[in-house]
A = this chain, B = another copy of it.
Amino acid sequence: MSDDEHESKPARDRSQVTIIDIARMAGVSKKTVSRVINESPLVREETRKKVKEIIAETGFTPNPQARALAFRKSFLVGLVYDNPSPQYVVNMQRGILDTLGDTAFQLVLRPCDRGDENYRERVRSFIVQHKPHGIILTPSVSEDETLAEILREEECDYVRIASLELDVPSRSIRTHDAQGAEMAAAHLAQLGHKRIGHIHGPKTFRSAHERLSGFRSGLESYGLELAPELTVEGAYTFDSGVSSATRLLNRRDRPTAIFAGNDEMAVGVYVAARKAGLRIPEDLSIVGFDDTPISARIWPPLTTVRSPIREVGRAAADLLLKRGSGSENLEELQSFQLELIVRESTRSV
């Protein structure tokens, strides 16, 4: 380096093909090449074809840094999340990456902590600085209306994933948790259980509310009532599952079945049952939610509700990428099938 500072060597000078080379080879202007790249309809079909051929021959790919600078918008898609479950996070990432694939778009991770007072401002600075193409929000941050307002203020496109519709349809992906909980209720009702307990997640999570109300209405359609004294609040954690279940199982009128709001807590119920000397499923049936890997590895294998997280991630990214292309089919992108996975933790009374 002739001058100073920057320590890292510049990338190899493999005289890269640029839009100028393509323009010259096709005998058109840069702008026309640019139009082809950006799929403008305002190019004669013949011209477009020629340019496309040359692009294919040369293997040219437009420089994303240059495009980002000119567009004032980068090719990053930000995932803003606070869900602590590794399985959930990884599945979501996989789904988004399925859609992003080998496009120019890159997935950038932005974990956050709602406990941090500045968390919203951190998201804002990310947006202002990096001008992402869009943001995908998962529960529970997706439920933060103030954050959504900030994104709108900064004119950043986004999609909110949640258990119910929180925003306009084009910015929402619903996960239909209530429906999954209904399936759990039907299963237990059909097995003849009457005294059924439920450990729901923290009330600050919409999913906890949706699963609770879905479970309740599911029981009601079988003429059963979800007894208030058998409905307790957990924290979606293993430990809270243990303590909540211990409370339920210590009652003289203990339930014969417990539906836990997620698998983590369901596994906690196993521990509480063992401590109480109860056999699963002979003395206690257990249903979880999420179908995390542990549900198939624990003994006995856990009956649980599978939520198609990866598909949800795929759909969220689709929504972002297809925006305005007219090809998005909101209906299709927003209908997910939950599934009850019946294993060996449930049995008829």
Contact = CB atoms under 8 A, between A and B. Distances in A.
Interface of A: 4-12, 35, 38-42, 61, 63-66, 68-69, 71-74, 76, 86-87, 89-91, 93-94, 97, 102, 104, 106-109, 111, 122, 125, 129-131, 133, 154-155, 157, 238, 267-268, 270-271, 274, 293-294, 296-299, 323-325
9 contacts: A6-B71, A7-B323, A9-B155, A11-B73, A11-B131, A64-B129, A86-B86, A86-B90, A271-B297
4 interchain residue pairs of minimum CB distance: A5-B40, A7-B324, A86-B90, A65-B68
A152 to B, nearest CB: 11
A299 B107 CA distance: 38
Contacts of A323: 7-8
B129 A111 contact: no
A348 to B, nearest CB: 24
A130 B109 contact: no
A69 B73 contact: no
- Tallying the copies of this chain within the complex gives 2
A12 B72 CA distance: 9
A72 B11 contact: yes
Contacts of A76: 106, 108
Contacts of A6: 38, 71
Contacts of A8: 73, 133, 157, 323-324
* Interface core residue of A9, A12, A90 (most chain B CB under 10 Å): A90
Given A74-B65, A86-B90, A5 B42 contact: yes
B109 A129 contact: no
A271 B299 contact: yes
B106 A130 contact: yes
Contacts of A102: 122, 125
A9 to B, nearest CB: 7
B35 A297 contact: no
A296 B65 CA distance: 46
Contact of A65 (B69, B93, B111): B69
Contacts of A69: 63, 65-66, 68-69
A64 to B, nearest CB: 6
Nearest to A270: B299
Given A10-B71, A12-B154, A64-B130, 6 more contacts: A5-B41, A86-B89, A94-B111, A102-B125, A271-B299, A293-B294
